[in-house]
């Protein structure tokens, strides 16, 4: 069976893991990447192959390392779908942030999109088909105090998505982004209960979103008409 091929960055846990599971359930063969969590990635592969019978190839790759991404693609013949999900958070005052930490946040959350798209897009252009979904954040639109670097990177994701969508539309390649609000994942584990409750009180839906809900939106976009491109789709419980 000639199944569609999808690559998901940051797939070992959270949103990336749920995207991997829902794509496997829908018959995609997968390429799954993570930077450090090799054991979690192996557990995910075992679950996917046992439940859904699709293939899953694993790569330990730093999304912020252009050379590592380039080398990885030597083992990837082509992609139908690219999900740029890898992300890194930093909570703290700008004045306390080092140049190294700033660059790490920008590299992981924004530059990685360039590295992966540069490798994946030529094959999509040749085949005149492909879908790219970038996982952004509402903080890219409204900014978050104590998360200046993260907000700046995610704002860049929005511009990247809209510009690349225009560039690739003539080749029948769709580029969209999802901008979640507060999602119940380990990335937000640094929030205290009081901080968590305070944010939830401001969300009209009255709760955080789930990683599974974000994965559901990925599937909705993949199943949407090809005329949907260049969009930043917010999933924030009505917050913005």
C-alpha 149/C-alpha 12 separation (Å) is: 24
Active-site choice (115, 150, 212, 227): 150
Look up 31 and say whether it is catalytic. no
3-state SS class at 55: coil
Structural tokens at position 2: 């000639």
Count of positions (residues) in the chain: 240
DSSP states of 132-148 as a string? EEEE--THHHH--TT-H
Asked if 35 contacts 11 with a C-beta cutoff of 8 angstroms, the reply is no
Structural tokens at position 197: 């409750």
Asked if 54 contacts 24 with a C-beta cutoff of 8 angstroms, the reply is yes
- In this structure, what are the phi and psi dihedrals at residue 33, rounded to the nearest 5 degrees? -120, 150
Q: What positions carry a catalytic annotation?
A: 150
């Amino acid at each position: 069976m000639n199944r569609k091929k999808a690559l998901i960055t940051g797939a070992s846990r959270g949103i990336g893991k749920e995207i991997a599971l829902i794509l496997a359930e829908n018959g995609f063969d997968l390429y799954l990447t993570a930077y450090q969590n090799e054991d979690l990635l192996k557990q995910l592969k075992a679950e996917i192959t046992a439940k859904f019978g699709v293939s899953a190839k694993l790569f330990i790759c730093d999304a912020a390392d252009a050379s590592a991404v380039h080398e990885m693609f030597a083992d990837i013949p082509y992609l139908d779908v690219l999900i740029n999900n890898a992300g890194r958070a930093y909570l703290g005052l700008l004045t306390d942030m080092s140049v190294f930490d700033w660059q790490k946040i920008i590299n992981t959350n924004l530059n990685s999109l360039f590295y992966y798209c540069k490798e994946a897009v030529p094959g999509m252009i040749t085949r005149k088909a492909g879908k790219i979904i970038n996982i952004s954040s509402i903080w890219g639109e409204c900014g978050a105090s104590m998360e200046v670097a993260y907000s700046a990177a995610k704002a860049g994701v929005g511009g990247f998505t809209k510009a690349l969508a225009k560039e690739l539309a003539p080749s029948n390649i769709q580029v969209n982004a999802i901008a979640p609000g507060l999602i119940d994942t380990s990335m937000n584990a640094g929030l205290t209960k009081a901080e968590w409750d305070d944010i939830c009180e401001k969300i009209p839906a009255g709760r955080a979103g789930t990683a599974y809900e974000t994965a559901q939106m990925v599937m909705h976009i993949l199943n949407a008409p090809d005329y949907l491109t260049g969009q930043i789709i917010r999933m924030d419980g009505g917050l913005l």
